Structure 1
């Protein structure tokens, strides 16, 4: 029964709003699980959960808070390794209706990062921008299509003098699909 309740919660959090409607609440999120087993016997399992909530204070603008947690377990013939990551931060979204059916929106997330790789703690920040298109269906439901984004992250392990930085630009190479409902 707990699995069914959790599944329903995850499905509810996976809804994303494409059209900003003044004085409404936007709830969205994602859930991910992967498992890889290689020929050499190495097995990797990853689980991620990323909910967000925002307030649509204008016909075009939404502001809110995102949260992300991820855990990875790697098992090899030499032993086990575990990593965990946590991110939290504000987001801002601007939506532009192109017609009664289509809308274009862009969202920027600014996250504070914290993680652990084995026994080593890491801290940092990340900024992400991504555009998407919403197709209005009926009764506040919409289909959403994302097509990549731009991100920059910087993390530093405790005790290290230098940070690790990542820059990603993947417009047109990453695609996503979602269903939304404005509340």
Structure 2
């Protein structure tokens, strides 16, 4: 029941405090560490976005991500993503907004010179701290990606992972 209420609250709140004609800077930083038996892996990711808010509720822009994966006994893997996004946002109050990002683009990985595409739909909650500075929270979304490398089979992934991940980011609106 708690998950259902949280999901409903996020959907009701999917609106950022967009200001027509302003620039949005946003980003997330993530870290994961996993140990299974003697095997250990760590993952670090930085994913910035910059967009132009052309309406009271709409933003369009570019996004990217840089991630490194270190696995004990294997070489370090670096992954890159670059693409575009569209954001719809709506105010719930002066403090809270709800937003949904739809993004798509190109990705590559240093392991086996792999390349592919990705697409994602991710709702989130925006909490206005002060003068366009905000904290962003999301709990997953719908994701698709594929990647194909030399000497490795094509990999495709579809994920519906609401409630299985938790992301915190920061954003800032700059008036023009």
Same fold (TM over 0.5): yes
Return the match for 1:132 from 124, 140, 144: 124
Secondary structure class of the residue paired with 1:93: strand
Q: Is structure 2 residue 68 aligned with structure 1 residue 71? A: yes
Q: Offset at 1:81? A: 1.7
Return closer, same or farther for 1:33/1:114 CA change in 2, 3 Å cut-off. Answer: same
Q: Is structure 2 residue 77 aligned with structure 1 residue 83? A: yes
TM-score by length of 1: 0.75
- How big is each residue's C-alpha offset from its partner over 1:155-174, in whole Å with a ceiling of 9 and x where there is no partner? 111256x6210011111332
TM-score by length of 2: 0.78
RMSD: 2.3
2:93 alignment counterpart: 99
The structure number with the bigger radius of gyration is 1
Higher relative CO (CA 8 A, sep ≥ 6), structure 1 or 2? 2
Q: Where do 5+ consecutive residues of structure 2 fail to align?
A: 1-14
Moved more, 22-31 or 170-179: 170-179
Indicate conservation of the 8 Å contact 1:54/1:63, yes or no: yes
Secondary structure class of the residue paired with 2:75: strand
Q: Where do 5+ consecutive residues of structure 1 fail to align?
A: 1-16
1:23 alignment counterpart: 21
User: Which whole-Å CA distance do the structure 2 matches of 1:85 and 1:93 have between them?
Assistant: 24
Count of aligned pairs between the two proteins: 160
- How big is each residue's C-alpha offset from its partner over 1:25-67, in whole Å with a ceiling of 9 and x where there is no partner? 1111122344556653x44343322221111111111011111
- How big is each residue's C-alpha offset from its partner over 1:100-153, in whole Å with a ceiling of 9 and x where there is no partner? 333221101102011121xx1111101011111223344223343312201001
2:113 alignment counterpart: 121
User: Which whole-Å CA distance do the structure 2 matches of 1:39 and 1:172 have between them?
Assistant: 27
